[in-house]
Structure 1
């Protein structure tokens, strides 16, 4: 036996039971069916279900014996046990629902009020739930939330004595799915008999995982494309740079030839603006009828002096 297990002794005529409902889901306006099953099963396990449905009636508050009226101990015990159970039930009800029970004084009154509120087979209530089924779409919901939204309403309609046939349940669920789940929809449409809700739920979960894996893989494609584009851009830039260098080679070669001649002065001439000789040498060339020709791009003289 685990350390968290609890031994429950059945109630007898003299004992009081404080029912622990900390593990019971909080009652809301949409989960009454499952909440009711949980609470009823727990109370039945303590042999207290009669306090809920009213079958365990309250004894007379007083006893009269030989003309003498006294308090009835059985009534006092019943009252104490009923109030302990009432307190436990209130602790398992959400704050939004508790105002409905402001006038309930016994466990049976709470049970009856909740049943009349959430399990009354009124025409308007049934139509409202059926309309919710039509409007329930997956959208951004997970498959778990989407599926639970249907099953909760199916259970509510069953509780209201207006159950949805199984084939119609499948149609409702498939009808609210987006195109990404068309593969599952087509597979189910091709079957001779509709699957159970459990099988359908599993197939939709598997499809959801496939979609998530595809989206994860697709999200890395733009980065790779950008990297390839960046590399291509760099390659083109390198090629263009090399082309530019090739176009500029004549000037560089001319400069290299000037250096290779061993010319001592490598500044720019103040007269003609050409690099590689000084103004004095250029003046001497010009006075002798020679010099740098801009039209031919070279010196008329064979070689400048050092």
Structure 2
């Protein structure tokens, strides 16, 4: 199957471009940095990035020639292109974020509102993010979720002009790991040069797979052990029951005759005058 490609023509004074943002990850309250980079790169590829940052300003709406005003075709073109791009932008923004943009009428207004909301430097926001880095532990999270929790916050701090140095990023990530990852942590700490976050992520993924393999092997052997314990317990119960039955038989076997006779209503009969045995009278010895 041959790959398909799209030929992109740069925008000019006469053409209109409908930018397809279906492959752009929708903007949420936590991924603005990556969303911004993705959207800006796409629009820049179409030579439309100026509509986002406002550098492609709107022309005058009307032209005046010899005292006569008329509509400016350049403004009409700009307006149409801006609205096409605005529609594409809204399609790449999640429903939870769209209410923030209810008063934005141009692409530049959307871009400014989002940047002010999610990328405005604030000391309180910076301190909160740094505190979240300290408290973020793996616990029961997957290694993917754990790693993403750090990188997302690193990106936010960089966007707020408060980046975390690379070695400090490694320290944050390594300090939140449980004992199962000690082998990987020791390897990283023992290196002369700190690895990239991508290398670190790969090592964590491999270690997680090892841990899952060991847990699977351990759980698969558990039923056999349980059956052995259960079988042993049944044998012990059977042996105890057998001994109990045996003792009962012995007790019945060695029950004194006097008790047996007593159960028939004879009771104790004194001492026999003939044989001298206690328990019956001379008439039972005849």
Alignment TM-score > 0.5, same fold = yes
Distance, in Å, in 1 between the alignment partners of 2:164 and 2:82 is: 37
Looking at CA atoms only, which structure, 1 or 2, has the larger radius of gyration? Answer: 1
Tell me which residue corresponds to 1:175. 175
Higher relative contact order (CA 8 A, sep 6+): 2
Is residue 17 of structure 1 aligned with residue 11 of structure 2?
Answer: no
Q: Distance between the aligned counterparts of 2:103 and 2:246, measured in 1?
A: 97
Per the alignment, residue 123 of structure 2 pairs with 123
* Map of 2:49 onto structure 1: 49
For residues 153 and 249 of structure 2, the distance between their equivalents in structure 1, rounded to whole angstroms, comes to 82
TM-score (norm 1): 0.76
For 1:208-227, what aligned pairs fall within 5 Å after superposition? 208-227=208-227
CA deviation string 1:134-157 (max 9, x = no partner) = 121112211111101111111111
Q: Which residue of 2 aligns with 1:62?
A: 62
Q: Could you say what secondary structure the match of 1:64 adopts?
A: strand
**CA distance, structure 1, for counterparts of residue 95 and residue 186 of structure 2:** 44
Change (3 A) 1:238 1:25: same
Q: Deviations over 1:31-62 (max 9, x none)?
A: 11100011011111111011011111111100
1:188 and 2:188 are equivalent in the alignment: yes
In 2, the alpha carbon distance for the partners of 1:45 and 1:2 equals: 24
**1:230 deviation in Å?**
3.5
* Cα distance in structure 1, aligned partners of 2:79 and 2:244: 102
Residues 215 and 76 (structure 1), Cα distance of their counterparts in 2 relative to 1, 3 Å cut? same
Q: Which runs of 5+ in 1 are unaligned?
A: 251-306
Aligned to 2:101: 101
Residue ranges of structure 2 left out of the alignment (5+ in a row): 251-286
Structure 1 SS opposite 2:64: strand
Kindly state the Cα deviation for residue 108 of structure 1 after the two structures are TM-superposed.
0.6
* Count of residue pairs the alignment pairs up: 263
Once the two structures are overlaid, the 10-residue window that deviates more, 127-136 or 216-225, is 216-225
Q: What CA distance in whole angstroms lies between the structure 1 residues aligned with 2:205 and 2:243? A: 58
Counterpart of 1:111 in structure 2 is 111
* Paired residues for 1:241-252 under 5 Å: none
Instruction: For residues 100-140 of structure 1, give each alpha carbon's deviation from its aligned partner in whole angstroms, at most 9, with x where no partner exists.
Output: 11111110111111111111122122112111111211122
The RMSD of aligned alpha carbons is 3.0
TM-aligned CA deviation for residue 247 of structure 1: 9.4
**SS of 2:70 mapped into structure 1:** strand
Aligned partners of 2:26, 2:2: CA distance in 1, in Å? 26
Q: What residue is the counterpart of 2:71 in the other structure? A: 71
